[in-house]
Amino acid sequence: MAKFDIIAATGCPTGIAHTFMAKEALEKAAAERGLTIKVETHGQVGVENELTKGEIAGAKAVVVAADKDVQAERFAGKPMVSVGVSKALSVEAAGKLIDRALAAKGDDTVAAAADVEDEVEEKESVGHIIYKHLMNGVSHMLVFVVAGGVLTAISFLWGITSFDSTASDYNSFAAMLKIIGGIAMNLMVPVLSAYIAESIGKRPALVPGFVAGMIAIQGLPVNADTGMIDAGGAGVGFGFLGGIVGGFLAGYVILLLEKVFAGLPKNLDGLKAIFLYPLFSTLIVGLVMLGISGPMAAINTAMMDFLKGLSASGAVVLGLAIGCMCAFDMGGPVNKAAYVTGTAMLTEALAAGVGTDTYNFGTNFMAAVSAACIVPPLITTFAVVVGKKYFSQEDHDAGIVNLILGCTHITEGAIPFMTKNIWPVMPIMMVGSSIASILTIMFNVHDPAPHGGFLVLPVVENGPLWVLAILIGAVVGGILFVAFKKYDFEKNQKAAPAAKPVEAPKVAAVEAPKAEAADFVKVENVFVAEDFASRDEALSFVSNQAVKAGIAGDADAVMNAFLAREAEGTTGMMEGFAIPHAKSDAITEAAVIVVKDESGVTGWDTMDGAPVNVAIALLIPGAQAGTTHLKILSKVAEALMDQDFRATVKGSTDAAEIAKTINARLV
C-alpha cells in the first residue's frame, strides 16, 4: 500500500474550479519540498481520488482546504490544518499550509522554515465552520437550480406562454419542460436545508432537514375562513432564508438528540437511527419551523423589499452592489452570496410567471449577476492580448483560456491574476463587473437561466444588449488592467537598469527545452486514419500505443488516468478537437500522441456537441503533473484558438506535417 507524507482534501461550493486549483497547488508545493502527497477532491461529480484508511493512518500530516463538509472527522488524531479553499489557491499559500501541518507534529526542520505565527496549529474558526455547513447545502442546491432554471428557460423558446394550454402559442413539449424545470427549482430550498443539516449532523439530519425545507416553502397553513391552523389551508412561505435557518436547526437538533440518547444500550443503535432520531428530530424541527413562520416570512419579505428598494434607487446603485459583490472574491463567499441571492430571486420570478413585476425584477437581477460573474475572466483575456509584453507567458496562456471560462460563467479563472496583485486588480475587476451589471439593468435584460454564460443566450431577452454590456465592462476593466501592468513593468525596469545583461543567459536557458519540445510529438506517434466506436476505445488505443512506444509501462494505469481526468470534466473542446491528458507514475516520459478519426468519435461531450475528429493526447509522468503538464496543456489550448492551426491539423493526412505543426506550438 502506498504511503504519503501529506494527505489533503479540497472542496468548494460549486466543485468546479477552486477544488481542483487547490489540488494542483498542493501537489506542486509538495513536489517542491520533496514530499509525497495525495489529494482527495470533493467536486461536483463527487469524491475523487478518495483516501483510504491505510493512507490516512500512514500520513505524517493532513491539510483540509474546503468550504464544504469533507468528513474531516476521519483525520482525528492526525496533525491537521483546516482552512477555506481560497487559502490554498497558490503554490506559495499551499506550501505554507503544508509547512504548518508538519510543524504541528513537532518537526523542527519544518517548524524553522514556517512563519512564527504558523508554528501553532490553526483551529477552525466558528465563522468558517458555519460557512462550511452553509456551502455544503449551497453546493448540493446549485445543480437543482441550474438544471431547473435552464429547462424552464428553454421552454420559453416556444413562446412566453407556451406552457399554458389556453394560450395561442401553447406547445405540449414546452409545457413538459416547464413542469420538469419547475419541479427541480422547487427542490432548491429542501435540498439546501437538508444538506446544511447533513453537514452538521450527518445522515440522520437529512430527514428533519428536508422537512424544514418543505415547511420553509409552504409556511404555516391557515384556513382563510376560520383563521385557524388548518392542514388544508394556505400559508406564506419564507423561502431561501427559511431553508438556511431550518438546515442549521435540524443539524444541531440531531447533535442534541445524540447526547440525549447516548446512555441507551449499544444494541439499540439501530433503533436510534431508524426510529428515534427521525421521529423526534422531525417533531422538534417541524414545530419550531411552524412556530417561527410568521416572523421568518416577514424577514424574507423585508429582505426582498430591500433589494427592490435598491432597484428603485436606480440602476447604478443596484448594479454597483451586485458588481462589487460578484468580483470581490471570484467565486468565494461574497460572490456566492450574490449568486445565491440571484437564484433565489429567479426562483420567485419563475414561480410568479412571465409578465409579473416579480418575474421582471428577478430575471433582470439574475442577468446582472451573471454579467458581473462573466466579466473578470474576460478582463484578463483582453489584457493579455492588448498588453501581451507586460505579462509572462504563463499569464498570457491563462488569460487566453479564460475566454472560454468567462463565456461559460466561470469566474474563478481570474483568481490567479488577482492573487498576484490584490491591489489594484480587485478594484479593477469590481469596476468592470459593476459597469456590466449597471448596463444590464439599464438595458432591461432578462435572463431566466441561472447559469451557462453565453450558452443560454437564445433564452435571454435583449441578449445582444446583454453581450454589449458585458463587453463594455470587460474592455474598460481590461484597459485599466493593462495600464496598471504597464506602470508596474516600467517601474520595475527603472528600478533594475542592470537587468538587460542578464537576458542572454535567460534566452539560453529557455532555448534548451526547445529541442526537447520538438520531440514531444514524434511522427510514429501520429495516427491519421483510425476508426473508433467511442471515446473510451480511442483512449484505450492511445494507452496501448504509449506502452508500445516505450512512453509508459502499464496501459491500464494510463487508461485509468485518462478516465479519471474525464471524470473531472470533459476534455472535448470545439470543432472536432479534444485534449485528453493522463498524469501517472506509469508514464516514464512526457509525450504527445495524436489520433485522427475522419468519421468522428461520438460520446466525448464536446462544448459544441460535435464528434471528435482529432484527439491530441498528453501523457505526463506523475512527478511533472504541476510543471510540464500545465505548460504543454496551456500551449495546446492556446494553439486551438488559432484557426490556421486547427485547419492544418484537421485537414492534413500527413503524420509528419501534423507532428511539425503541433511541435512548433509547443516551443
Q: What is the mean pLDDT of each run of 10 residues along the chain (667 residues)?
A: 87 73 89 92 81 90 88 88 84 89 58 36 67 84 83 84 89 94 90 94 95 94 90 84 93 96 86 92 97 89 79 87 88 74 86 88 94 95 94 85 86 78 90 97 93 86 96 97 91 58 39 46 90 88 91 89 82 86 88 92 80 92 71 76 84 90 84
Instruction: Quote the CA–CA distance of 596 and 612 in Å, as a whole number.
Output: 8
What is the pLDDT, as a whole number, of residue 381? Answer: 96
Q: For this structure, is 581 an active site residue? A: yes
Instruction: Quote the CA–CA distance of 370 and 596 in Å, as a whole number.
Output: 37
Sketch out the chain's domains with CATH numbers.
Answer: 6-124 (3.40.50.2300), 128-300 (no CATH), 313-335+344-495 (no CATH), 511-666 (3.40.930.10)
Task: Please state, in angstroms and as integers, the Cα–Cα distance from residue 177 to each residue in 157, 567, 580, following that order.
Answer: 11, 28, 34
What is the pLDDT, as a whole number, of residue 495? Answer: 62
Instruction: Quote the CA–CA distance of 487 and 300 in Å, as a whole number.
Output: 47
34 Cβ contact partners less than 8 Å away, ≥ 6 residues apart: none
Of 18, 396, 451, 581, which residue is the catalytic one? 581
Identify the sign of the CA torsion 458, 355, 215, 230: negative
Task: Please state, in angstroms and as integers, the Cα–Cα distance from residue 103 to each residue in 155, 467, 640, following that order.
Answer: 57, 50, 45
**Cell numbers found for residue 376:** 473578470
- Residue 424: asked if its preceding bond is cis (omega within 30°), the reply is yes
Instruction: Quote the CA–CA distance of 168 and 402 in Å, as a whole number.
Output: 43
Of 12, 324, 326, 373, which residue is the catalytic one? 12
Q: Model-level pTM?
A: 0.56
Planar angle of CA 366, 367, 371, nearest 5 degrees: 115
Residue 620's H or E segment, with its range, is strand 612-621
Q: For this structure, is 326 an active site residue? A: no
Going by the DSSP 8-state scheme, the letter that residue 595 receives in this structure is E
The b/e string for 255-274 (b: 16+ C-beta within 10 A; e otherwise) is eebeeeeeeeeeeeeeebee
What is the pLDDT, as a whole number, of residue 333? Answer: 65
If you compute the radius of gyration of the chain from its CA atoms, what whole number of angstroms results? 27
